[in-house]
Amino acid sequence: MDLWHDTTRSVTERAEALLAELTTTEKAAQLGSHWARETRTSGGGEVAPMESVFAASTLDEVAAHGLGHLTRVFGTEPVEVAEGVARVRAAQQRVVELHRLGVPAIVHEECLTGFTTYRATVYPAAIAWGATFDPALVAEMAQAIGDDLRAVGVHQGLSPLLDVVRDYRWGRVEETIGEDPYVVGTIGTAYVQGLQRAGVAATLKHFVGYSASRAARNHAPVPMGRRELEDVMLPSFEMAVRLGGVESVMNSYSDIDNVPVAASRDLLTHVLRERWGFAGTVVSDYGAIGFLHLMHHVAADLPEAGRLALSAGLDVELPQTTAYRTLADDVAEGRLEEAVLDRAVLRVLEQKIRHGLLDPDWDPEAQGDPARDLDSPRNRDIARRVAEGSVALLANDGILPLAAPTIALVGPIAEEPRSFMGCYAFPNHVLSRFEYGGIGLDVASLADGLVAELPGSRIVSAAGVPFLAEDRSQLDAAVEAARHADVAVVAVGDLAGLFGTGTSGEGCDSEDLGLPGLQGELVEAVLATGTPTVLLLVSGRPYALGAYASRCRAVIAAFMPGVEGAAAIAGVLSGRLNPSGHLPVAIPSGRGGQPGTYLAAPLGWFSEGVSNLDPRPLYPFGHGLSYTSFELAHLTTDASEVDVAGTVRLTVRLTNTGPRSGAEVVQVYASDPVASVVRPLKQLVGFAKVALDAGESAELDVSLHADLFSFTGLDYTRVVEPGDIVLSVGTSSEDRPLQATVRLTGRMRVVGEGRVLTSEVTVRKA
Question: Which residues have CB under 8 Å from 8's CB, separation 6+?
Answer: none
Strand order in the sheet with 749-750: 711-712, 718-720, 749-750
Q: Which of 209, 555, 568 is nearest to 395 (CA)?
A: 555
> Within a domain: residue 377?
no
Same domain, 563 and 670: no
Q: Which residues pair with 671 in a beta bridge?
A: 726
Q: Summarize pLDDT for 547-581 with one digit per residue, the tens.
A: 999 999 999 999 999 999 999 999 999 999 999 99
Q: Based on the domain organization, do 653 and 711 belong to the same domain?
A: yes
Q: Where are the alpha helices (DSSP H) in 297-437?
A: 302-312, 327-332, 338-354, 377-390, 426-429
Contacts of residue 26, Cβ cutoff 8 Å, sequence gap at least 6: 65, 66, 99, 100, 101
Domain that holds residue 583: 399-604
The mean pLDDT value for 701-725 works out to 98
Domain membership flag for residue 619? no
252-276 pLDDT per residue, tens: 999 999 999 999 999 999 999 999 9
Q: Could you tell me if residue 359 is inside a domain?
A: yes
Is it the case that residue 34 has pLDDT exceeding 50?
yes
Please say whether the beta carbons of 465 and 143 come within 8 A: no
DSSP code for 246:
-
Beta strand 156-157 with 106-109 is: parallel
User: Does a structural domain hold residue 616?
Assistant: no
Distances 435 to 44, 77, 417, 496 between C-alpha atoms, Å: 8, 12, 18, 18
Same-domain status, 473 and 590: yes
Q: For residue 31, report the phi and psi dihedrals to the nearest 5 degrees.
A: -100, 5
Residue 422 lies in a domain: yes
Q: What is the pLDDT of residues 480-535, one digit of tens each?
A: 999 999 999 999 999 999 999 999 999 999 999 999 999 999 999 999 999 999 99
**pLDDT computed for residue 594 by the predictor:** 61
| Three-state DSSP class for residue 134 | coil
Q: What is the Cα–Cα distance from 334 to 269, expressed in whole angstroms? A: 22
**Same domain, yes or no, for 640 and 744?**
yes
Average pLDDT over residues 270-298: 98
* pTM greater than 0.75 (yes/no): yes
> What CATH number does residue 704 fall under?
2.60.40.10
Distance CA(102)–CA(342), nearest Å, equals 19
In sequence order, the β-bridge partners of residue 408 are 460, 488
Q: Are residues 537 and 670 in the same domain?
A: no
Domain co-membership, 329 together with 473: no
Task: Say whether pLDDT at 42 is over 60.
Answer: no
Q: Can you list the positions of beta strands (E) in 628-759?
A: 630-637, 641-643, 647-656, 662-671, 683-692, 697-705, 711-712, 718-720, 723-730, 738-745, 749-750
475 and 335 belong to one structural domain:
no
Q: How many residues does this entry show for the chain?
A: 766
**pLDDT confidence of residue 1:** 81
743 beta partners: 641, 724
Mean pLDDT of 683-687: 98
Element (H, E) at 556: strand 554-558
As a whole number of Å, the end-to-end CA separation of the chain is: 61
How many domains does one find in the chain? 3
d(CA 198, CA 654): 35
In a domain? residue 279: yes
**Do 511 and 641 sit in the same domain of this protein?**
no
Q: Are residues 315 and 447 in the same domain?
A: no
**Taking all residues of the chain, what is their mean pLDDT, rounded to a whole number?**
96
Rounded to 5 degrees, what are φ and ψ at 59?
Answer: -60, -40
Q: Please check whether residues 487 and 351 belong to one and the same domain.
A: no
pLDDT band at 586 (very low <50, low <70, confident <90, very high): very high
pLDDT for residue 127 is more than 60: yes
From residue 305, give the alpha-carbon distance in Å to each of 262, 263, 766.
9, 8, 61
The string of pLDDT tens digits covering residues 193-205 is: 999 999 999 999 9
100 and 165 share a domain?
yes
Percent of the chain scoring above 90 in pLDDT? 94
- One-letter amino acid at 685 equals V
Q: Give the span between the Cα atoms of 360 and 362, in whole angstroms.
A: 6
Residue 35 has pLDDT above 70, yes or no: yes
Cβ–Cβ < 8 Å for 752, 675: no
- Residue 733 pLDDT > 50, yes or no? yes
Looking at 324, 351, 366, the residue that finishes a domain is 366
The Cα diameter of the chain in Å comes to 80
**Quick check: helix, strand or coil at residue 333?**
coil
Contacts of 526 (CB under 8 A, 6+ apart): 408, 410, 478, 479, 482, 488, 490, 533
Q: Which residues contact 434 (CB under 8 A, 6 or more apart)?
A: 41, 42, 43, 44, 77, 78
- The answer to whether the beta carbons of residues 685 and 669 sit under 8 Å apart is yes
DSSP string, 26-38: HHHHTT-EEE-GG
Domain CATH for 103: 3.20.20.300
Encoded amino acid at 464, one letter: G
Give the model's pLDDT for residue 41: 42
**Per-residue pLDDT at 609:** 81
Residue 738's Cα: distance from chain center in Å? Answer: 31
CATH number of the CATH domain containing 418: 3.40.50.1700
Question: What single-letter amino acid sits at 180?
Answer: D
Closest CA to 501 of 430, 582, 559: 430
Q: Which residues of 42-71 are buried (b: 16+ CB within 10 A; e: fewer)?
A: eebeebbbebeebebbebeebbebbbbbbb
Same domain, 595 and 713: no
* Backbone φ, ψ for residue 303 (5° rounding): -60, -40
CB atoms within 10 A of CB 1: 7
Residue 244 counted as domain residue: yes
- Give the SS3 label for residue 588: coil
Listed range (433-437, 447-451, 465-469) with the worst mean pLDDT: 433-437
AA identity, residue 171 = G
Does position 55 have pLDDT exceeding 70, yes or no? no
Q: What is the pLDDT of residues 73-107, one digit of tens each?
A: 999 999 999 999 999 999 999 999 999 999 999 99
Which phi and psi (to 5°) does residue 262 adopt?
-65, -15
Between helix 135-151 and helix 377-390 the angle, nearest 10°, is: 150
Q: Is residue 380 part of a domain?
A: no
